[in-house]
């Protein structure tokens, strides 16, 4: 029986396929494969998604963090751009699966970890997403607090910072609660506004400072290549890890893509360029403030606080918009889907969004951002070491093991081929643990710390190779003939 059909590279369920799984405990409206009419995202939608997510206070702060660690401006910017070019590779590889089969990340994870084991990578990604959600709320709340103090007597209100934080947190949770389609619409109109506001800030800085300012000509603090590399590799891992989360759950968005071309062009043209562009604005504006105010101001809210009340009002709207577009897209969808996947028949995306918001508070973002060492090395570096191996397994399974052939209805069966007898694929778990353990152990062995400094990349490659080897000839792999038996081909189908 043909349970799925392919047209123009997009695979959807047939009526028979949907009937076969609609009563499964692993199925609900949020986790089912998308239908043809739902593939509406164009290249612009993906470009605006990444522009909206990349223009945010953590991006602005990351360049500052690298310069505070000793890099000069161009070393910091190139490190960030290189890191984003590297992470773009797994993003595009995992995007293909989401686009072709229309499945969200937790369902995609069932393919390689099993129907029950999928909770491991889904919850891991979800916890990190919740952590980022809290970080962005703290950034945004603190910025709003700074701007309110500059306009009113807000500084005299007891606990004003915490009030700003929790108020902004509530706004983020409310917007996230409205769902992915609302996110798509918000990103579409917010992206051009954020670009204009960013350029306006850069033009102001250049005009007021009469040039780029002294910091752009300040030399690196490193006197030898060895000193530079000691900071460069963990910084590069941090830059990669910044979006390593999205490299995993990008199917949550690409499942709505009109075509593979739409998602590839939209993402490739916007991610590295926007991250490099906004990081540069952060460095350039901070450089200009040395000339204008006699000190380097790395906090954009602190810069805006020196403007006129009307400019502060516009800047506050910009900061709220920049944080919202990042937070609700990059940091709430994954944990919400992870919660939903725990009990598809009882929990919805909206319930998951609320739970993720509460978890973000428990992770204490104020501690993570206590200093740049925590931010770059503890937070970004540590979760990069965790997510790298999972990324490697995802890529290996879809591209090397299964060769882009998936039996969609089996993903929603409690006793299907992707259940792996116990619901867990032990080979995926072992590949993940080995990929995490080797970099972690190397951290404490003299002369091998460079492996830990590149934990995301090393872990990805180790787990990719081990998983591919261990899954050779597994019974869940579809042959080309098996795939043809279940897949109806539309005459308009192109290479997928």
pLDDT band at 217 (very low <50, low <70, confident <90, very high): confident
List beta partners, residue 488: 5
**pLDDT value of position 368:** 65
For the cut 80, the answer to whether the pLDDT of residue 185 exceeds it is no
Neighbours of 492 (CB within 10 A): 9
Structure token digits, residue 59: 């991006």
Report, as an integer, the average pLDDT of 321-334: 82
Tens digit of each residue's pLDDT (9 = 90 or more) over 102-113: 999 999 999 999
Q: Which two tokens stand for residue 206?
A: 């250049």
Higher pLDDT, 135 or 164: 164
The full set of domains in the chain, from first to last, is: 4-489 (1.10.4160.10)
Q: Give 489's strand partners.
A: 6
Least confident of 22-26, 199-203, 364-368, 393-397: 364-368
| Euclidean distance between CA atoms 48 and 51, whole angstroms | 5
* CB half-sphere exposure, 231, CA atoms < 13 A: 21
- 122-163 pLDDT, tens per residue? 988 888 888 888 888 888 888 888 888 888 888 899 999 999
pLDDT at position 35 is 95
Tens digit of each residue's pLDDT (9 = 90 or more) over 286-314: 778 878 888 777 777 778 888 888 888 88
Predicted pLDDT of residue 136: 83
d(CA 493, CA 496): 8
Q: What is the pLDDT of residue 377?
A: 54
Local confidence band at 371 (pLDDT 50, 70, 90 cut-offs):
low
Model confidence band, residue 381 (pLDDT cutoffs 50, 70, 90): low
Sheet holding 487-489, edge to edge: 10-13, 4-7, 487-489
pLDDT of residue 404: 97
Q: Give the pLDDT band of residue 284 (cuts 50, 70, 90).
A: confident
Q: How far, in whole angstroms, is CA 107 from its chain's centroid?
A: 18
């Amino acid at each position: 029986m043909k349970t799925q059909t392919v047209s123009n590279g997009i695979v959807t369920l047939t009526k028979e396929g949907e009937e076969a799984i609609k009563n499964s405990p692993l199925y609900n409206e949020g986790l089912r494969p998308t239908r043809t009419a739902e593939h509406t995202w164009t290249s612009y939608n993906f470009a605006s998604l990444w522009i909206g997510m990349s223009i945010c206070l953590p991006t602005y702060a990351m360049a500052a963090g690298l310069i505070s660690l000793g890099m000069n401006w161009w070393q910091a910017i190139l490190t960030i751009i290189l890191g984003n070019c590297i992470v773009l590779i797994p993003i595009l590889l995992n995007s293909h699966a989401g686009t072709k089969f229309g499945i969200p990340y937790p369902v995609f994870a069932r393919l390689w970890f099993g129907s029950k084991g999928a909770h491991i990578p889904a919850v891991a990604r979800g916890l990190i997403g919740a952590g980022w959600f809290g970080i962005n709320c703290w950034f945004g709340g603190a910025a709003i607090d700074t701007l309110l103090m500059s306009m009113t007597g807000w500084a005299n209100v007891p606990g004003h910072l915490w009030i700003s934080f929790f108020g902004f947190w509530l706004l983020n949770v409310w917007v996230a609660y409205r769902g992915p389609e609302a996110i798509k619409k918000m990103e579409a109109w917010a992206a051009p506004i954020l670009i204009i506001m960013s350029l306006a800030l850069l033009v102001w800085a250049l005009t007021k400072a009469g040039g780029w300012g002294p910091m752009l000509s300040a030399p690196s603090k490193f006197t030898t290549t060895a000193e530079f590399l000691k900071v460069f590799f963990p910084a590069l891992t941090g830059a990669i890890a910044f979006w390593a989360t999205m490299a995993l759950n990008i199917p949550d968005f690409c499942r709505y893509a009109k075509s593979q071309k739409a998602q590839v062009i939209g993402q490739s043209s916007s991610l590295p360029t926007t991250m490099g562009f906004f990081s540069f604005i952060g460095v350039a504006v901070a450089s200009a403030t040395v000339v204008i105010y006699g000190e380097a101001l790395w906090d954009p809210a602190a810069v805006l606080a020196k403007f006129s009340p009307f400019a502060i009002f516009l800047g506050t709207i910009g900061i709220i918009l920049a944080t919202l577009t990042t937070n609700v897209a990059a940091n709430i969808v994954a944990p919400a889907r992870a919660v939903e996947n725990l009990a598809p028949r009882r929990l919805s995306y909206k319930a998951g969004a609320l739970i993720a918001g509460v978890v973000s508070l428990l992770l204490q973002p104020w501690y993570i951002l206590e200093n740049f060492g925590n931010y770059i090395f503890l937070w970004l570096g540590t979760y990069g070491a965790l997510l790298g191996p999972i990324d490697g397994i995802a890529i290996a399974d879809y591209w090397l093991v299964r060769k882009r052939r998936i039996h969609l209805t089996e993903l929603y069966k409690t006793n299907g081929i992707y259940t792996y007898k116990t619901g867990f694929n032990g080979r995926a778990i072992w590949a993940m643990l080995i990929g995490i353990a080797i970099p972690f152990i190397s951290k404490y062995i003299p002369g091998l710390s460079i492996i830990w400094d590149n934990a995301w990349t090393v872990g990805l490659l180790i787990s990719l190779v081990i998983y591919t080897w261990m899954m050779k000839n597994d019974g869940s792999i579809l042959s080309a003939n098996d795939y043809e038996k279940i897949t109806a081909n539309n005459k308009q189908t192109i290479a997928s």
